[in-house]
């Protein structure tokens, strides 16, 4: 298959008002025998070149599903994207014919998963897995593809790349496998990399290596990075902007420092207060009471209200929109000003 890229899409330009990626009012649901799971309930965000957007959320927040919707890899059935647009360089991926979408997926938008061991095919060598998509997209020979694979392995700092290009995934350690996945993702020089919990299964020293690698690669290539994680530390280190998700919605978004130092949503604020810190031995942690809601029966109004210390009657009735807090920060809480005010000394 020849390179579809040049025919299908406008030449990527930078600047102007257009964002590299624009997700608008995305809704995803899963229809099961027991009911409909509303996994994503209207999220919108943007991503520009060279920017790192962190999507922060716990399990059940919908963060992974939203990324899969962007990539177009949701199992359907039972999953359905019921509403919304995903615009890559101005063109809506959800409206595109599958053929064109496939040209973009993997090539212009690439994804790296949490568990490299299960995401890599155990019966193919890593060199093959890295080189094959490249070979297919660019129509080059196998030898060239192999050279490219070695080049990518060196770029992701896998030692002895030339000797190891024919090794199989199980012969690598966890951190190395993660690098292989990154090499695979970057072989086609994508514009956007989505990393879904890239470090959760890794030891902390390996995690540091991988995050450093991602930062360096981003600086080299200028790609946009969407980082999906629940780790508040990783987000603080790596992100430029943060979108906090809860029950399938974005409840707060803004520059990373604003989110961490002046959270304007009770959930974000609660999260910050409930984690132990490496740089301080605290007295007592302040957990958020209760548990996340069942996505088949999301409470009316604000989904967080059953657990919220600021909740009032209106919270159970009116779904809060994302209010402007200022300086690029937005919060989906009717009483965000109170949340901010209470933090002032």
What's the closest the beta carbon of residue 152 comes to another protein, in angstroms?
19
The residues near 148 (Cβ < 8 Å, ≥ 6 apart) are 130, 131, 134, 140, 187
Name the helix (H) or strand (E) containing 27.
strand 21-32
DSSP state of 280: B
What's the closest the beta carbon of residue 292 comes to another protein, in angstroms?
6
What's the closest the beta carbon of residue 135 comes to another protein, in angstroms?
28
Expressed in angstroms, the distance from the first to the final Cα of the chain is 63
Strand-pair category, 241-246 with 224-229: unpaired
What's the closest the beta carbon of residue 69 comes to another protein, in angstroms?
9
Report whether 148 contacts 187 (CB < 8 A): yes
- Which CB sits closer to another protein, 91 or 230? 230
| Beta bridge partner(s), residue 321 | none
What's the closest the beta carbon of residue 243 comes to another protein, in angstroms?
15
- Which CB sits closer to another protein, 49 or 237? 237
The residues near 79 (Cβ < 8 Å, ≥ 6 apart) are 28, 29, 30, 39, 65
- Which CB sits closer to another protein, 188 or 195? 195
d(CA 248, CA 231): 18
- Which CB sits closer to another protein, 127 or 293? 293
- Which CB sits closer to another protein, 287 or 309? 287
What's the closest the beta carbon of residue 123 comes to another protein, in angstroms?
19
Report whether 190 contacts 108 (CB < 8 A): yes
- Which CB sits closer to another protein, 140 or 208? 208
Q: How far is CA 164 from the centre of its chain?
A: 30
Strand-pair category, 52-56 with 241-246: parallel
- Which CB sits closer to another protein, 145 or 217? 217
What's the closest the beta carbon of residue 144 comes to another protein, in angstroms?
30
Per-residue three-class SS string for 126-147:
HHHHHHHHHHHHHCCCHHHHHH
d(CA 306, CA 315): 9
């Amino acid at each position: 298959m020849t390179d579809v890229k040049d025919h299908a899409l406008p030449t990527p330009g930078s600047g102007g008002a257009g964002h590299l990626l624009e997700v608008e009012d995305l809704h995803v649901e899963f229809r099961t025998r027991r009911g409909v799971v509303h996994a994503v309930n209207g999220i919108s965000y943007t991503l520009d070149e060279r920017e790192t957007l962190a999507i922060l959320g716990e399990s059940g927040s919908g963060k992974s599903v939203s990324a899969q919707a962007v990539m177009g890899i949701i199992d359907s059935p039972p999953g359905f994207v019921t509403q919304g647009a995903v615009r890559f360089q101005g063109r809506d991926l959800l409206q595109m014919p599958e053929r064109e979408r496939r040209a973009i997926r993997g090539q212009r938008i690439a994804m790296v998963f949490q568990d490299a061991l299960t995401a890599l095919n155990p019966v193919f060598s890593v060199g093959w897995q890295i080189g094959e998509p490249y070979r297919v997209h660019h129509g080059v020979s196998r030898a060239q593809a192999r050279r490219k694979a070695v080049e990518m392995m060196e770029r992701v700092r896998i030692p002895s790349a030339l000797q190891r290009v024919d090794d199989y995934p199980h012969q690598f350690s966890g951190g190395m496998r993660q690098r292989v996945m990154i090499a695979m993702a970057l072989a086609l020089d994508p514009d956007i990399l989505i990393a879904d919990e890239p470090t959760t299964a890794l030891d902390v020293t390996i995690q540091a290596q991988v995050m450093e690698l991602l930062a360096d690669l981003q600086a080299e290539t200028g790609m946009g990075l969407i980082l999906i994680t629940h780790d508040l530390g990783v987000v603080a280190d790596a992100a430029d902007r943060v979108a906090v998700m809860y029950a399938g919605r974005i409840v707060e978004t803004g520059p990373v420092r604003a989110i961490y130092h002046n959270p304007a949503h009770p959930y974000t604020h609660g999260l910050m207060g409930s984690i132990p810190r490496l740089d301080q031995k605290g007295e007592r942690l302040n957990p958020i009471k209760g548990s996340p809601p069942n996505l088949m029966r999301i409470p009316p109004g604000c989904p967080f209200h059953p657990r919220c210390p600021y909740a009032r009657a209106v919270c159970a009735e009116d779904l809060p929109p994302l209010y402007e807090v200022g300086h690029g920060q937005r919060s989906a809480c009717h009483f965000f000003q109170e949340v901010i005010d209470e933090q002032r000394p």
